[in-house]
Structure 1
Amino acid sequence: MNEQKKKKSDARYLEDFARLRLFNLFDNLSRDELIRIGKNTEILDFEKDEVVCMENTKSESMYFIYSGEVSISQKGVAFAHLESGDYFGEMSLITGRTRNATVTTLVPSVLFEVSAAVFDEMFETSPTVMHNLLLTYDARLRRHNNVVVGQFLKLKHQFDALEDSHNRLLLSDKMASIG
């Protein structure tokens, strides 16, 4: 299901702006800023296994996970799970490129959708949003670095074990050929 199909004609908008405090992107924003964003935030309900957005499609909004959990994948390979309090879709709004991943709900989920226009306004008027976004990227990068290093160390250990087995096999073959 694509983004356009999911939208309902009877759109619901966030009236309780305090719910935005759940997301670190909005830390330290004024009440007025939160109200302005909340009035332009659409609430979307998704069932389990629904596609929120597709890889390589044009981005027109970003999403905040109010409740639920989603899987992030590229070329059919899941590489991250996000849950309540997380957000996604902002990078393609910043770069102007197509989405680099597909996002699918893992459980029934409630997402807040913020349009590209509102996102751009947040960036232009609130340096706090930019700062908070950088903090999120730092945390994500550190988490992904730990995963990559862990995978590298596991592969290195497996390679070392294979190399040791190979050397023992070569030695065994040499000994067998000698007599």
Structure 2
Amino acid sequence: MLTSVDRLLFVRAVPIFKELRDDFLVRLASVMDELSFPAKHTIFTEGQEGRSLYIVVKGRVRVHIGNRDLAQLEKGACFGEMSLFDAEPRSASVSTLDACDCLVLTQQQLYDAIDETPGIAINIIRLLSRRIRELNRANSAQQSSSAQGSASQSTARNLDSNAVGS
């Protein structure tokens, strides 16, 4: 378990909270719960209703859809933030790779915090935008790689057919 000072220092270093005032961070850090999960534990599953954001304090988690890994997150990383803003079910599952400790912020705690300090909403929007851009880049690179592979196979077939025709 984190002491209140350690909790404040930790939350201050989390990207979505970096630009917030210390007085706000003290309040926010004090309302978050700390949960511990064993290794290979499912924290939540795709399709499940969710109303909380998690921050990894210790350990590593795996974000996945079925058996396909989307990301591995470590100390200081957030997950589950999308469910705080929409009423949609979780878009992916999150399971622990190691024993993990996480801080948890509920939707109501966040809304109360946004009422007091709207800057937190901007930070979360930036985080979500960054993640979408990273996914778009990864998807583009994968499509580009697939297209290059197809072009190489087509060139090889053309060379083979030209060699046979000679």
Q: TM-score range by the shorter chain?
A: 0.7 to 0.9
Shift of 1:156: 1.5
SS of aligned partner of 1:84: coil
Aligned length: 164
Shift of 1:54: 0.9
Which piece of structure 1 moves more, 104-113 or 122-131? 122-131
Quick one: which of 140, 143, 158 aligns to 1:149?
A: 140
Q: How does 1:87-106 map to 2 (within 5 A)?
A: 87-106=78-97
Partner of 2:26: 35
Partner of 1:171: 162
The whole-number CA distance in structure 2 between the counterparts of 1:27 and 1:48 is: 29
Partner of 2:75: 84
Say whether the 8 Å CA contact 1:66–1:111 is kept in structure 2. yes
- Deviations, residues 144-175 of structure 1 (Å, cap 9, x unaligned): 232222212211111011111222343355x2
Partner of 2:100: 109
Say whether the 8 Å CA contact 2:47–2:92 is kept in structure 1. yes
The two structures have a TM-score, normalised by structure 1, of: 0.81
Q: How does 1:63-78 map to 2 (within 5 A)?
A: 63-78=54-69
SS of aligned partner of 1:44: strand
Which piece of structure 1 moves more, 159-168 or 24-33? 24-33
Which piece of structure 1 moves more, 131-140 or 110-119? 131-140
Which piece of structure 1 moves more, 89-98 or 161-170? 161-170
- Deviations, residues 95-120 of structure 1 (Å, cap 9, x unaligned): 11111110011122211011121022
Shift of 1:47: 2.1
The AA in structure 1 aligned to 2:11 is L
Shift of 1:141: 2.6
Say whether the 8 Å CA contact 2:56–2:77 is kept in structure 1. yes
Partner of 1:18: 9
SS of aligned partner of 1:58: coil
The AA in structure 1 aligned to 2:82 is M
Larger Rg: 1
Shift of 1:13: 8.2
Shift of 1:63: 0.3
In structure 1, list runs of 5 or more residues that go unmatched: 1-11
The two structures have a TM-score, normalised by structure 2, of: 0.87
Q: How does 1:114-125 map to 2 (within 5 A)?
A: 114-125=105-116
Shift of 1:14: 6.6
